[in-house]
Amino acid sequence: MAEPAEKYIDRNTFRSLRRQAYAVWATSTAIAFGWVGLILLAPIARGFESALSSRLYTFFSYICHQLPERSLHIAGFPMAVCSRCFGVYFGLFAGMATYPLWRRIDEIEPLPRIWLFLSIVPIGIDWSLTMAGIWENTHLSRTLTGIILGAACGIYILPALVEIRRNLALSRPSTD
């Protein structure tokens, strides 16, 4: 069925919006990759006795408890965040990086929210069973449940960022 005339977007505007969407995707994915890289850099820098290491651990201490027994280790040193936080951040990166493989990058209509809420279930079960003393979660369970939540967040955040960028571009007055 044909779209109403009010929804028509000329070809040049469509291409421009698509390029903007790819720019948002590339920028967001690069930022998420850099964030994960900083988490991994902290223990590596500590191995080289770099002052950067203590700065990174201090920075990430504001967002994570950094308990060594709950953190993955690189070269014998704990990462800058716990395994669950690492899973969330890595999942965010992975969700954003793979987004264009299964959905058009310029599609701004969000997926049904139920999928976002369902992504919380595994992490909630893992945490709840540990708190109840029924199950002791592991680095693997914390990381995997974090990846599930992080990937879902990335999949919901990216279209929102594309829409924000699109609205900013469309609200600017034309310079013709």
Position 6 scores a pLDDT of 64
Q: Look at residue 99 and give its three-state secondary structure.
A: helix
Position 110 scores a pLDDT of 86
Q: Which helix (H) or strand (E) holds 73?
A: strand 73-74
Model confidence pLDDT, tens digit, residues 32-65? 999 999 999 999 999 999 899 999 999 999 999 9
Cα separation, 77 vs 45, whole angstroms: 10
Q: Which helix (H) or strand (E) holds 48?
A: none
* Amino acid residing at 23: A
User: Mean pLDDT of all residues in the chain?
Assistant: 91
Position 10 scores a pLDDT of 73
Asked whether the predicted pLDDT for residue 13 surpasses 80, the reply is no
Q: Which two tokens stand for residue 22?
A: 């790819």
Position 41 scores a pLDDT of 97
Asked whether the predicted pLDDT for residue 1 surpasses 60, the reply is no
- Of 58, 49, 51, give the one whose Cα is nearest residue 77: 49
Asked whether the predicted pLDDT for residue 141 surpasses 90, the reply is yes
Model confidence pLDDT, tens digit, residues 153-166? 999 999 999 999 98
pLDDT category at 4 given cuts 50, 70, 90 is: low
Structure-model confidence comparison of residues 13 and 8, the more confident one: 13
pLDDT category at 5 given cuts 50, 70, 90 is: low
Position 130 scores a pLDDT of 93
Cα separation, 167 vs 7, whole angstroms: 15
Position 7 scores a pLDDT of 63
